[in-house]
Amino acid sequence: MSHDDRSIAHASGDDAVAIAGAGPAGLAAAITLARAGRRVVVHEARREVGSRFGADLQGLENWSGHQDVLDELRGAGLSDGFARHGCSDGVAFDAWDRAYALRSPSPMVYVVERGPRPGSLDHALLQQALDLGVELRFGSRVREAGDVSILATGPTHADALAAGYQFETRMANGFWLVLDDALAPGGYAYLLVMNGHGTVKSCMFADFARQHLYVERTVARFRRLVGLDMQAPRFHAGAGNILMPQTAMHGGCAVVGERAGFQDALAGFGMRYAMRSGVLAARALLDGHDYDSLWRQNMAQALCASLVNRALYARFGNRGYRWLLQAQAASGNSRAFLRWLYGHGALSRSLMPWARRRVGGRRAASPDEALLSR
Ligand SMILES: Cc1cc2nc3c(=O)[nH]c(=O)nc-3n(C[C@H](O)[C@H](O)[C@H](O)COP(=O)(O)OP(=O)(O)OC[C@H]3O[C@@H](n4cnc5c(N)ncnc54)[C@H](O)[C@@H]3O)c2cc1C
């Protein structure tokens, strides 16, 4: 099959659009295509959706844009039929145990469940895709990018690692953070609770070999600071990709979600970009638009700002994190403060080459190789 590298090819002779990966990116693409009347086949390597997450809790960030993320999903025609807890207030601690309120008039983040259980984000998207007639082929691992039109197979590198426990709890719903390199080098430790279920993790950006030490310190700190109540704990860890690709096309294949490196680089939030890029790739295919132009228009500024924020944050250390917590507390609106951090278009662009060198420096592969290595 010959095709222009910039347009998305149809890999199947019978006109079905083939997608690899049934994560949020692949399912968002499938739903968008099916809603437009296209036949879609999604190949998923595992036996069910969200396998790599178990029943983990994650935060759907609600600060990188003005629009509420749930309105964005509804506007894109994606299901919001998943359980969630909108967090308008939380607590963050610095390395000296001082607490700072995280507060905003509207949710900064929606806690959601991942994995195959009913009520999870993955389950809601899967159900919507099936209702629209999308064919899901579980246990079907795609070997070649050229066999599909959309590649949505998740991370290939460990730029960040989140490790800790999932558990049952009697704690009330909420979220708590600790910014301390002794718990999470270059990152943050977090505790999320929703409806009797919790996750506590160290999200680290360096020194992965000592992950168990950071996890145990994280658990001990949350026990001491907020009385972490952890029943039936199950260890869970996963890696994340962070990359600003030069192109998210490979041959005739659109690369979406974390496989393309689309993820908030500061804090490792990838779900929103996964779904957005899936929708954009599907629209590019439906309308014959250039996918690279679409994702750049819709995501590049925030991704670029997040990369600059990450490079700056990595230089901060504990005193810098404390300054950040003080500044956001003084602002009185944590969501608006975070949005401001992502809004420095010109500054971000000018610092981008430096940030790219610092954040991408650990990568042996070039961006294009990173898209395809497995
Ligand atoms: C521990 C942890 C905590 C996180 N917390 C947050 C958070 O709080 N907020 C947030 O926004 N993000 C968070 N993330 C990141 C978020 O989970 C990802 O960015 C998001 O799931 C990416 O979606 P995706 O569809 O691109 O990839 P995935 O969700 O990884 O889905 C990819 C799918 O492709 C399948 N697959 C892989 N290879 C093949 C193949 N060859 N053929 C067919 N199928 C294949 C996989 O089995 C998988 O189902 C976290 C990640 C981890 C690991």
Q: Which atom of ligand 1 is nearest to the CA of 237?
A: 1
What DSSP assignment string belongs to 106-148?
A: S-SEEEEE-SSSTTSHHHHHHHHHHHTTPEEEET-----GGG-
Centre a 10 Å sphere on the Cβ of residue 167 and count the other Cβ atoms it contains: 21
Q: Which atom of ligand 1 is nearest to the CA of 122?
A: 29
Q: What are phi and psi of 103, to 5 degrees?
A: -145, 140
Instruction: Please state, in angstroms and as integers, the Cα–Cα distance from residue 284 to each residue in 23, 153, 254, 278, following that order.
Output: 19, 19, 9, 10
pLDDT 10s digits, 321-348: 999 999 999 999 999 999 988 876 777 7
Determine if ligand 1 sits within 6 Å of the CB of residue 24.
Answer: yes
Residue 174 CA to ligand 1 centre (angstroms): 23
Span between the terminal Cα atoms of the chain, in Å: 23
Determine if ligand 1 sits within 6 Å of the CB of residue 161.
Answer: no
Domain 17-54+63-78+114-156+242-302, CATH 1.20.120.140 — does that match? no
Determine if ligand 1 sits within 6 Å of the CB of residue 258.
Answer: yes
Residue 282 CA to ligand 1 centre (angstroms): 18
Residue 224 CA to ligand 1 centre (angstroms): 32
Half-sphere exposure of 247 (CA within 13 A, CB side): 14
For residue 364 the two structure tokens come to 């042996």
Domain residue ranges of the chain, discontinuous segments joined by +? 17-54+63-78+114-156+242-302, 160-240
The one-letter code for the residue type at 195 is: N
Interaxial angle between packed helices 271-287 and 24-35, expressed in degrees from 0 to 180 and rounded to the nearest 10: 30
Instruction: Provide the pLDDT for residue 6.
Output: 52
Residue 238 CA to ligand 1 centre (angstroms): 9
Q: Residue ranges of the chain with pLDDT lower than 50? A: 1-5, 11-13, 361-374
State how far Cα 168 lies from the chain centre. 24
Work out the burial of residue 305: count CB atoms within 10 Å of its CB; fewer than 13 is exposed, 13-18 middle, 19 or more buried: buried
Residues written for the chain: 374
Residue 197 CA to ligand 1 centre (angstroms): 20
Q: Residues of the chain with pLDDT > 90: what percent?
A: 76
Instruction: Provide the pLDDT for residue 4.
Output: 46
